[in-house]
Amino acid sequence: MNLSNIETEEILRMLEEVRKDVTEEESRISSGWESNRKKVRERLNRLSEYVKKASEIKTIKRRGRPKKLSIYQRTMLFLFTRMIGRSNRDMENIIMFLKPLSGITVSYKYIERLYSDEEVRMALHNLFILLLEEDGVSGDFSGDGTGYSLSITRHYRTGIKKESREYRYSFRIMDIRTGLYVAFGYSHRSEMDAFLKAMEMMEESGVRIRSIRLDRYYSSRKVVHMFEPSVRLYMIPKNNMRRYGMRWRRILGRMLKDPYAYMKEYFMRNLSESGFSSDKRRFGWKISQKREDRREMALFAISVLHNIFSVRGVG
């Protein structure tokens, strides 16, 4: 479809009018955290089974003393630590308090070292895949990025340009049928870098993408060429775009054909925003680790915890 820039601007103005008519109910956005608690309980009851299976890792025996805890125990301890969201010293005291139930005591340094434990990292990755296999993946996704603060004094939206080193970026791709994350990317540079790493994870996992919804921030030709025409992309171009290539014009043609249906699909992207909001309220919005590998581990753990606790059906 050949569209002039003037015609394109008219389409975008029309979409802005349609946007006002697309309500939250019509875009089928649901919170997910409070619904279907029964299924969440069932998943928690089977969590030990999942983690044991995920911890079946063949490792090379190293010299020195054997690990105090097994891979399974270390993974469960790490998940518990991330879920509670307290400092390592606080967790040391909590675990000591629970010793009559668990029989385990560890130091705060032991807890911190879990963030760089390669065996725990592999077990978490396996657990992430197992949870997806349990519910299945629809192929229809939403993606968005956010920032996590390294300091309690600033919010990433207000200080991101001036103090970029104070934040770390996470991009997560969500399945819109189940509300589960299917890919994760981390970066200390930018949201775009985190997005590209999430796409690498998608490619490595072999997950087929049928459609995806993204924010205007990702409306560059480079990103569009990653998806169109084999993947149906729902996105609105930036206001300052001057040139639209053939693949962008194909997207604009879909907008023109049925603006209301297009915007309903586009607003499914709000699932990602609500997911981030819920994650930060539940698991915290600050990361305190000093090493980059441990920061990445902390944010990946949030993706795993989200998939343990979140049940959302929209279709």
Of 139, 129, 130, 141, give the one whose Cα is nearest residue 208.
139
The pLDDT of residue 267 is 87
Indicate whether 154 belongs to any domain. Answer: yes
Return the residue matching tokens 């994350």.
Answer: 181
**Does the structure show a pLDDT above 70 at 3?**
no
- How far apart CA 49 and CA 36 sit, in angstroms, is 21
Domain membership of residue 182 (yes or no) is: yes
List, for residues 214-262, the tens digit of each pLDDT value: 998 898 888 999 998 899 999 988 776 666 677 888 888 888 888 888 8
Rounded CA separation 252/4 (Å)? 11
Tally of structural domains, the chain: 1
Cβ distance 201 to 186 under 8 Å? no
Containing structural domain, residue 195: 5-309
Q: How many CA atoms lie within 13 A of 200 on its CB side?
A: 8
In a domain, 315, yes or no: no
On whether residue 314 sits in a domain, the answer given is no
Q: Is 22 domain-assigned?
A: yes
Whether the predicted pLDDT of 156 surpasses 60: no
The pLDDT score that the predictor gives to residue 172 is: 97
The answer to whether 204 touches 305, Cβ cutoff 8 Å, is no
Residue 145: phi and psi, rounded to 5, are -120, 160
**Higher-scoring residue by pLDDT: 307, 4:** 307
Q: Who has greater pLDDT, 205 or 11?
A: 205
